Amino acid sequence: MEKLLRNSFMFLSKNKMMTKLAKKYGLRFGAARFVAGNTIDVAKDVIKQLNNKGLDVTLDYLGEFNTDANEAAEAADHCIKAIEVIGRERLKSQISIKLTSMGLDISDDVVLENMRRILAKAKDLRVFITIDMEDYSRCERTLKIYKQLKSEYDNVGTVLQAYLYRTVKDVEDLGAYQANLRLVKGAYKESANVAYPDKKDVDQNFKKIIKMHLLNGHYTAIATHDDQIIEYTKQIVNKYKIPKTQFEFQMLYGIRPEKQLDIVHEGYKMRVYVPYGTDWFGYFMRRLAERPANVAFVLKGLIKR
């Protein structure tokens, strides 16, 4: 049953008609738990509340798969506005960006033009930018573009996914770039030809790349809600005396908020991934696919309405 639900939600996450309807009717059906409003003006208040609790943030303007250059440029404009708000309000927040929202499916030139505009503004206001990783078919191009941008800007990092077979090699390769990496399990439906199909293998690989990157001496964000992975990371940093300034934990907005605060109270940095915007449907479906408990929460909310 769990596998059927996951496959169904992953299918819906790519449904263009449902995405269009979701944009029209807004953050209903429980999505507001995971998405901090439609606009940056609403999202900034959420960031302030999280900052006041000792939580840092990475802000994501929702949107992906832009195939029109004007829409990609508009998405970049939204990110630049968010950067300006972060700077003006002195928020403890970074920005996360999906390259398909910046025109990755149009051309490298389009996405590089938009990313350079964003990174230039972010550099001026001392805001860090993380390039999110998407599905396997876009992995190689994403890393290629990241390497190009890293040669031009210091304030940019990217994401690697533990469920891909290639990731250990990618960690080794990015060591030469002193990459700031967010390490995740991975949230897309991939073929067993490119990704580990079994959770135990994903977990084992996740632990491996966490240890590798930490011992490389480069900044590591461990993005997980899994207590086992969190405890493993604590053991590694204690064993090898890795300073707390070299790593952080990350979790998604709306998931395990009590655990997020527990980690802060233990003296670790915790960053919350906060999405906002009208193009929320695909993101929301992937969150439901990841955890059956999220489905129960949404159904409970609907009954109350």
Q: Which tens digit of pLDDT belongs to each residue from 122-153?
A: 999 999 999 999 999 999 999 999 999 999 99
Q: What is the CATH number of domain 36-158+188-197+251-279?
A: 3.20.20.220
Q: Which tens digit of pLDDT belongs to each residue from 216-265?
A: 999 999 999 999 999 999 999 999 999 999 999 999 998 899 999 999 99
**Looking at residue 189, what is its pLDDT?**
82
pLDDT band per the 50, 70, 90 thresholds, residue 26 = low
Mean pLDDT, the chain, whole residue set = 87
Domain definitions of the chain by residue range: 36-158+188-197+251-279
DSSP per-residue codes, 52-100: HTT-EEEEEE------SHHHHHHHHHHHHHHHHHHHHHT-SEEEEEEGG
Q: Which tens digit of pLDDT belongs to each residue from 181-224?
A: 999 999 888 999 999 999 999 999 999 999 999 999 999 999 99
Q: Is 45 a catalytic residue?
A: no
Q: What is the C-alpha end-to-end distance of the chain, expressed in Å?
A: 26
d(CA 262, CA 242): 20
**Looking at residue 297, what is its pLDDT?**
44
Q: Choosing from 132, 170, 203, 279, which is the catalytic residue?
A: 132
**Looking at residue 278, what is its pLDDT?**
76
**Looking at residue 293, what is its pLDDT?**
53
Residue 13 has pLDDT above 60, yes or no: no
User: CB under 8 Å to 13, separation ≥6 — which residues?
Assistant: 281, 282, 283, 285, 286, 289
d(CA 264, CA 185): 22
Residue 48 has pLDDT above 80, yes or no: yes
Q: Choosing from 182, 271, 286, 287, which is the catalytic residue?
A: 182
Q: Is 60 a catalytic residue?
A: no
Q: pTM score, two decimals?
A: 0.86
